């Protein structure tokens, strides 16, 4: 299966999420769309939540960073998570760790995923797994995907079998396509085909193309061509 270089890089890179940062750029160090994780119970009052603004280079403006900090210092869970993530984008890992930890302890699930990712970047796989297990149990699909990634590294089939069905149940194309690529890279063609079929049915053009590649190798040229035709007008959900 051909995996375009830009897509492969996105799949290989663990991604920070900025669920509540509405003006984010996808090409920066903190990338990824909202995945619908259940943070509503810790959502801040919209009237109190400052907007994040970026300059022409994609950096958080000093004014909006100060506003987010003020909200974080008032103890708003989402603001604490946003401030920690913004600090990380500025290279302040210690500050990011502090505010993401505070937000996670206040119950913000997105902060738990990002905190686990911060430990993953530092090479602390044990702490990463602990955090992602807790966030995944609370419904965070990116944490589920992270656990599957760690399980693939260890060839831990039981963990893969535990979380992959839960990822499929979220009806979100990006993590499902990512699972399919992981299976395909390890020669698990039937499992990859299932993932790409689910994600393709959700409208992901990449998944349709990956499925077409598998069908092509199996000699099903007509269905492969039909899938590529669908993919040409479908959305690429990354």
What is the pLDDT at residue 47? 46
As beta bridge partners, residue 235 has 204
What is the pLDDT at residue 55? 79
Separation CA 128–CA 130 (nearest Å): 5
What is the pLDDT at residue 40? 39
What is the pLDDT at residue 237? 79
What is the pLDDT at residue 23? 28
pLDDT digits (tens, 9 = 90+) for 178-190: 999 999 999 999 9
DSSP label at residue 135: H
Separation CA 105–CA 96 (nearest Å): 14
Both tokens assigned to 170: 């979220």
pTM attached to this predicted model: 0.76
Separation CA 200–CA 19 (nearest Å): 24
**pLDDT tens digits in sequence order for the chain, 238 residues long:** 443 444 333 333 334 443 332 222 333 322 233 444 444 344 544 445 677 777 787 777 888 888 889 999 999 898 999 899 888 888 898 999 999 999 999 999 989 999 998 998 888 999 999 999 999 999 999 999 999 999 998 999 999 999 999 999 998 999 999 999 999 999 999 999 999 999 999 999 999 999 999 999 999 999 999 999 999 999 987 6
Separation CA 196–CA 183 (nearest Å): 10
CA distances from 50 to 14, 36, 69, 152, 153 (A): 27, 20, 9, 39, 39
In the chain, alpha helices (H): 5-12, 62-73, 77-89, 93-105, 109-121, 125-137, 141-154, 157-168, 173-185, 189-201, 205-217, 221-232
Q: Which domains does the chain have, with CATH numbers?
A: 13-140 (1.25.40.10)
What is the pLDDT at residue 27? 33
151 with 164: CB under 8 angstroms? no
What is the pLDDT at residue 38? 45
DSSP label at residue 54: B
Separation CA 60–CA 197 (nearest Å): 38
């Amino acid at each position: 299966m051909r995996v375009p270089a830009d897509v492969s890089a996105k799949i290989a890179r663990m991604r920070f999420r900025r669920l509540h940062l509405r003006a984010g750029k996808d090409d920066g160090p903190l990338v990824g769309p909202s995945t619908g994780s259940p943070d509503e119970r810790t959502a801040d009052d919209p009237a109190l939540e400052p907007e994040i603004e970026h300059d022409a280079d994609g950096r958080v403006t000093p004014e909006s960073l100060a506003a987010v900090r003020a909200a974080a210092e008032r103890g708003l869970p989402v603001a604490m998570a946003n401030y920690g993530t913004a600090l990380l984008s500025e290279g302040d890992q210690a500050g990011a760790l502090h505010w993401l930890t505070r937000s996670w302890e206040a119950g913000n699930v997105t902060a738990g995923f990002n905190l686990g990712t911060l430990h993953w970047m530092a090479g602390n796989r044990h702490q990463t797994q602990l955090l992602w297990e807790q966030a995944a149990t609370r419904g965070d699909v990116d944490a589920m995907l992270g656990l599957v990634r760690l399980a693939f590294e260890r060839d831990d089939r039981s963990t893969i079998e535990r979380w992959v069905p839960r990822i499929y149940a979220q009806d979100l194309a990006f993590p499902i396509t990512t699972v399919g690529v992981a299976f395909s890279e390890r020669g698990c063609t039937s499992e990859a085909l299932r993932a790409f079929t689910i994600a393709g049915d959700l409208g992901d053009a990449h998944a349709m193309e990956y499925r077409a590649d598998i069908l092509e190798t199996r000699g099903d040229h007509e269905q492969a061509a039909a899938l590529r035709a669908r993919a040409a007008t479908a959305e690429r959900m990354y």
